[in-house]
């Protein structure tokens, strides 16, 4: 074993050193979950300086860990900061996260792809009881079913069930949101809100008359947006929700996300405002800051936050505020900074532009379905916008016009900076996922067609596609070639 601080190799006569022979730094520690009771000291990391990998789990209690980037101390998954006094390192998760059905929690739908883009077909799908949503984090595939929440672990050849918990009251639920954060599972359903531990234990169940549409979760806070536009925020272990005081607005909040570090909550309204909330503020009720206001000219349906910039996708309202008419109105896009300045747009987008986007680097990828009219044939496109020069026309890629793109675009960026878009394409009636190369315009089918919409999830070094048939879901697991 080698000390990563002083680079000294421990003499082989000391078989399992707890501290560095040279500088005295810890090399092993008691498991942060089962503690000193098990008398197990775990090595902080395996491998030498070049190939170091922090210890990811305890072989006694099976709990997973976060590791400090600086001192390598192991922490439980709900830890936010390194517990070593004076250490300023950040805590890193054991495995690449995909913490919501949309991937990252900042709304970008862009995920790092660990390998090259080569996708052999999975010949051995796993059949499980039907699921509604899935996410991957801390080495577990988390699936919200109709009657239970389940976690699965990769055995090397297939997904083995790790935990299962039926919903309170044995009811069937309609799942609307799933986020895995703080070592917990946050589930929004039409019928209520639940928080589970990764072991499958119910920690909290709310059943109030509100219908929650969206949620955002940070390192130690949780925010929920209901159908009436109210926002409830709770912090840390105090599970009492506090309502956020909203300014007097022409419209109501309809979309919500957070930045990559979870330091602020961003909210878009159906009357064109962008609001910012500090979840760490000590003021109660929580205050809201309006950082951008189109005075009712737009309705923002979707937003994402990257590096101090917010992308807002929505529709122009022609200054006639009427939520019922919004679907027929012109799609629009705006980019502003998180202080509400340096505006790009709002820019009108072509008719048929879909309501979601993937944001990778300084490019926004948005699907568009052009319906046939007197002047033009039907067409299916991906429009690529540069976030720094929004006023220019997008680059456009053409897809097969016989099928259309469904909402739910996702981008994967590999270590060489190559990008692929994962698109769900609908024929009549068959649906399937395709991997699309926006540079060359080439595409590859990666799932078998089914009559229903499918789910996709990046699970560390595997892409999992869930196809539904009757009361079952088939999980296709496609290895990613490094
Ligand atoms: Zn040392
Ligand atoms: Zn343990
Ligand atoms: Zn540390």
Q: Which of the ligands is closest to the CA of residue 34?
A: 2
Q: Which of the ligands is closest to the CA of residue 4?
A: 1
Structural domain contains residue 86 = yes
Instruction: Retrieve residue 332's tokens.
Output: 């629009």
Q: How many CB atoms lie within 10 A of CB 279?
A: 22
Cα 33 to averaged position of ligand 2 atoms, centre (Å): 5
What's the confidence (pLDDT) of residue 246? 86
Sequence-separated (6 or more) residues with CB below 8 Å from residue 258: 105, 106, 216, 217, 218, 223, 264, 265, 266, 305
Q: Which of the ligands is closest to the CA of residue 89?
A: 3
Structural domain contains residue 108 = no
What's the confidence (pLDDT) of residue 36? 67
Instruction: Retrieve residue 186's tokens.
Output: 């946050």
Structural domain contains residue 164 = yes
Cα 233 to averaged position of ligand 3 atoms, centre (Å): 29
Structural domain contains residue 288 = no
The DSSP annotation for 33-101 comes to TTBGGGT-EEESEES-STT-EE--B-TTT--BEEEETTT--EEETT--S--STT--PPEE-SS--B-ST
> Which residues hold their Cβ within 5 A of ligand 1, which is an ion?
3, 5-6, 20, 22-23, 25
State the Cα–Cα distance between residues 215 and 37, nearest whole angstrom: 38
Select from 404, 408, 410, 478 the least CA-distant residue to 438.
410
pTM of the model: 0.84
Instruction: Examine the domain organization and report whether 138 and 198 are in the same domain.
Output: yes
Q: Which of the ligands is closest to the CA of residue 37?
A: 2
Cα 34 to averaged position of ligand 2 atoms, centre (Å): 4
What's the confidence (pLDDT) of residue 204? 86
Q: Is 213 helix (H, G, I), strand (E, B) or coil?
A: strand
Structural domain contains residue 217 = no
Q: Decide which of 182, 207, 232 is a domain's last residue.
A: 207
Instruction: Examine the domain organization and report whether 85 and 5 are in the same domain.
Output: yes
Q: Which of the ligands is closest to the CA of residue 35?
A: 2
Q: Decide which of 184, 207, 230 is a domain's last residue.
A: 207
- 142 sits in the region (left: phi over 0; alpha: psi -120 to 50; else beta) called beta
Instruction: Examine the domain organization and report whether 89 and 164 are in the same domain.
Output: no
Instruction: Examine the domain organization and report whether 82 and 144 are in the same domain.
Output: no
Instruction: Examine the domain organization and report whether 3 and 67 are in the same domain.
Output: yes
Q: Is 354 helix (H, G, I), strand (E, B) or coil?
A: strand
What's the confidence (pLDDT) of residue 48? 60
Identify the segments of the chain with pLDDT beneath 70. 36, 38, 47-51, 120, 123, 237-239, 319-328, 481-482
Structural domain contains residue 382 = no
Cα 36 to averaged position of ligand 2 atoms, centre (Å): 9
Cα 387 to averaged position of ligand 1 atoms, centre (Å): 46
Q: Which of the ligands is closest to the CA of residue 10?
A: 1
CA 123 to chain centre: 28
Q: Which of the ligands is closest to the CA of residue 5?
A: 1
Instruction: Examine the domain organization and report whether 9 and 85 are in the same domain.
Output: yes
Give the count of domains, the chain: 2
Instruction: Examine the domain organization and report whether 27 and 82 are in the same domain.
Output: yes
Instruction: Examine the domain organization and report whether 89 and 6 are in the same domain.
Output: yes
Question: Cβ(292)–Cβ(273) under 8 Å?
Answer: yes
What's the confidence (pLDDT) of residue 427? 92
Q: Which of the ligands is closest to the CA of residue 82?
A: 3
Buried-exposed string 40-75: b where 16+ CB fall within 10 A, e elsewhere: bebbbbeeeeeeeebbbbbeeeebbbbbbeebbbbb
Q: How many CB atoms lie within 10 A of CB 203?
A: 12
Cα 16 to averaged position of ligand 1 atoms, centre (Å): 14
Q: Decide which of 176, 207, 238 is a domain's last residue.
A: 207
Here the CATH number for the domain that contains residue 202 is: 2.40.10.480
State the Cα–Cα distance between residues 350 and 354, nearest whole angstrom: 10
Residue 203 is part of which domain span? 127-207
Q: Which of the ligands is closest to the CA of residue 72?
A: 3
Structural domain contains residue 449 = no
Cα 35 to averaged position of ligand 2 atoms, centre (Å): 6
Q: Do the bridges between strand 410-414 and strand 110-113 make them parallel or antiparallel, or are there none, so unpaired?
A: parallel
- 345 sits in the region (left: phi over 0; alpha: psi -120 to 50; else beta) called left
Q: How many CB atoms lie within 10 A of CB 408?
A: 20
The angle subtended at Cα 231 by Cα 278 and Cα 166, nearest 5°, is: 115
State the Cα–Cα distance between residues 465 and 482, nearest whole angstrom: 19
Structural domain contains residue 184 = yes
What's the confidence (pLDDT) of residue 388? 86
What's the confidence (pLDDT) of residue 228? 93
Buried-exposed string 362-389: b where 16+ CB fall within 10 A, e elsewhere: ebbbbbbbbeeeeeeeebbbbbbbbbee
């Amino acid at each position: 074993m080698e000390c990563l601080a002083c680079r000294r190799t421990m003499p082989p006569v000391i078989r399992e050193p707890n501290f560095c022979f040279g500088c005295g730094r810890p090399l092993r520690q008691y498991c942060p979950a089962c503690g000193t009771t098990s008398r197990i000291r775990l090595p902080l990391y395996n491998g030498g300086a070049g190939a170091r990998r922090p210890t990811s789990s305890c072989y006694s209690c099976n709990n997973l860990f976060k590791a400090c980037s600086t001192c390598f101390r192991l922490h439980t998954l709900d830890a936010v900061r390194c517990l070593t006094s004076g250490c300023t390192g950040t805590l890193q998760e054991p495995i690449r996260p995909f913490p919501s059905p949309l991937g990252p929690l900042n709304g970008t739908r862009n995920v790092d792809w660990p390998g090259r883009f080569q996708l052999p077909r999975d010949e051995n799908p796993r059949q499980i009881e039907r699921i509604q949503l899935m996410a991957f984090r801390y080495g577990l595939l988390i699936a919200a079913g109709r009657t239970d929440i389940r976690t699965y672990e990769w055995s090397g050849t297939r997904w083995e069930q790790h935990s299962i918990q039926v919903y309170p009251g044995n009811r069937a639920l309609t799942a609307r949101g799933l986020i895995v954060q703080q070592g917990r599972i946050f589930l929004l359903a039409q019928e209520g809100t639940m928080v589970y531990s990764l072991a499958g234990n119910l920690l909290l169940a709310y059943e109030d008359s509100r219908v929650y549409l969206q949620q955002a979760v940070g390192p130690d806070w949780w925010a929920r947006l209901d159908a009436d536009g109210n926002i409830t925020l709770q912090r840390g272990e105090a599970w009492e929700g506090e309502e956020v005081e909203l300014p007097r607005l022409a419209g109501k909040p309809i979309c919500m996300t957070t930045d990559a570090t979870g330091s602020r909550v961003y909210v878009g309204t159906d009357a064109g405002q962008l609001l910012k909330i500090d979840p760490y503020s000590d003021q109660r009720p929580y205050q809201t800051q309006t950082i951008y206001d189109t005075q009712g000219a737009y309705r923002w349906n979707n937003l994402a936050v990257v590096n101090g910039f917010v992308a807002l996708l929505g529709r122009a309202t022609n200054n006639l505020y009427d939520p019922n008419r919004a679907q027929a109105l012109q799609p629009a896009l705006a980019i502003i900074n998180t202080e509400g300045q340096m505006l790009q747009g709002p820019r009108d987008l072509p008719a048929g532009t879909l309501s979601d986007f993937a944001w990778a680097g300084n490019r926004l990828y948005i699907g568009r379905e052009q319906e046939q009219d007197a002047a033009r044939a039907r067409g299916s496109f991906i429009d690529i916008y540069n976030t720094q020069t929004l006023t220019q026309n997008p680059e456009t890629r053409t897809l097969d016009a016989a099928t259309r793109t469904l909402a739910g675009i996702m981008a994967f960026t590999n270590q060489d900076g190559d990008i692929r878009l994962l698109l769900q394409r609908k024929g009549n009636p068959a649906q399937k996922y395709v991997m699309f190369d926006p540079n060359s315009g080439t595409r590859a089918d990666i799932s078998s067609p089914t009559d229903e919409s499918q789910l996709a999830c990046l699970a560390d070094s595997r892409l999992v596609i869930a196809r539904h048939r009757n009361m079952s879901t088939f999980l296709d697991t496609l290895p990613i070639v490094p």
